[in-house]
Structure 1
Amino acid sequence: MRGLTIVVAGPDPDRFRAALTMACAAAALGGRTRVYLHEQAVTLLTATGSAPAGLPDLAELRAVASDSGVELIACQTGLALAGVSATRADVAAGGMIDLLATLSDDRLVTL
């Protein structure tokens, strides 16, 4: 299966939820899966977000994604601007150039 790279372009928790859900589904099918939080979207790393009844909140969904093998990448510039640290075990710091250079034959989705 081809990989999937998802770029979350803004700090909208609903888009982040959709990205994590899509990433978990792709990972379950066996493909390499990455979610890149661009600039202001890195603030979602600290969001828990409410969830509809019966669904996991953002923190729980991030944990499911991590357990599923989804790679979560935070924009280095966005981290610096937001004063957020990527020292968490489930988050790597990275940039758009590296993301695109390592895209290979991944499908690219922007939310």
Structure 2
Amino acid sequence: MRELRILVATAEAERLRGVLVMAAAQVALGGQATVFLQLDAVGLLRPPIEAPRDGAHQAAGLPSLAMVIDEALGSGVAILACQSGLALCGMSAEDLPAGVEVGGPIGFLQQTDDDARLLFA
């Protein structure tokens, strides 16, 4: 199965939620998945992690964004936060959820081989 690599380019919580669900599904099927949050998207990881629609999701029996992040990391999804995004959002690596790594776009692309599926969200 081809690796799934997704770049999240905007600070939209529902977009990140959908990306993480798809990445976790990829891992559940036996594949690998990496999610790279670029620039403003890193701010979605600022503690406490809350999304505007968390209440609606929880009322429907679905997890909050914080829970989706934890579940994705726990399932083996790699999540990378952009170094520049941390600076832009006034955050440091210590602010990130446990298991989220820090990297940059060059490293992300260097690790993306020709067989991987690269998606932009």
1:108 correspondence with 2:118: yes
Alignment partner of 1:23: what SS?
helix
Q: Aligned residue for 1:83?
A: 90
Pick from 60, 70, 81 the counterpart of residue 63 of structure 1: 70
Q: TM-score, normalised by structure 2?
A: 0.87
Q: Aligned residue for 1:15?
A: 15
Query: How far apart in 2 are the matches of 1:86 and 1:22?
Result: 25
Pick from 91, 94, 104 the counterpart of residue 103 of structure 2: 94
% identity of equivalent residues: 47
Deviation at 1:90, TM superposition (A): 1.4
Q: Which runs of 5+ in 2 are unaligned?
A: none
The worse-fitting range, judged by mean Cα deviation, of 40-49 and 85-94 is 85-94
What one-letter code is carried by the residue in structure 2 that aligns with 1:48?
A: E
Q: Aligned residue for 1:2?
A: 2
Give CA-to-partner distance per residue, 1:45-83, whole Å, 9 cap, x none. Answer: 123211422110110000110111000000000001111
User: What RMSD in Å do the two structures reach over aligned CA positions?
Assistant: 1.1
> Which of 1 and 2 has greater Rg?
2
**What does 1:37-76 align with in structure 2 at a 5 Å threshold?**
37-46=37-46, 47-49=49-51, 50=54, 51-52=56-57, 53-76=60-83
What one-letter code is carried by the residue in structure 2 that aligns with 1:10?
A: T
What one-letter code is carried by the residue in structure 2 that aligns with 1:74?
A: A
Question: Would you say how many aligned residue pairs link Structure 1 and Structure 2?
Answer: 111
Q: Which runs of 5+ in 1 are unaligned?
A: none
Give CA-to-partner distance per residue, 1:8-64, whole Å, 9 cap, x none. Answer: 110000100111001000010111110000100000112321142211011000011
Alignment partner of 2:11: what SS?
coil
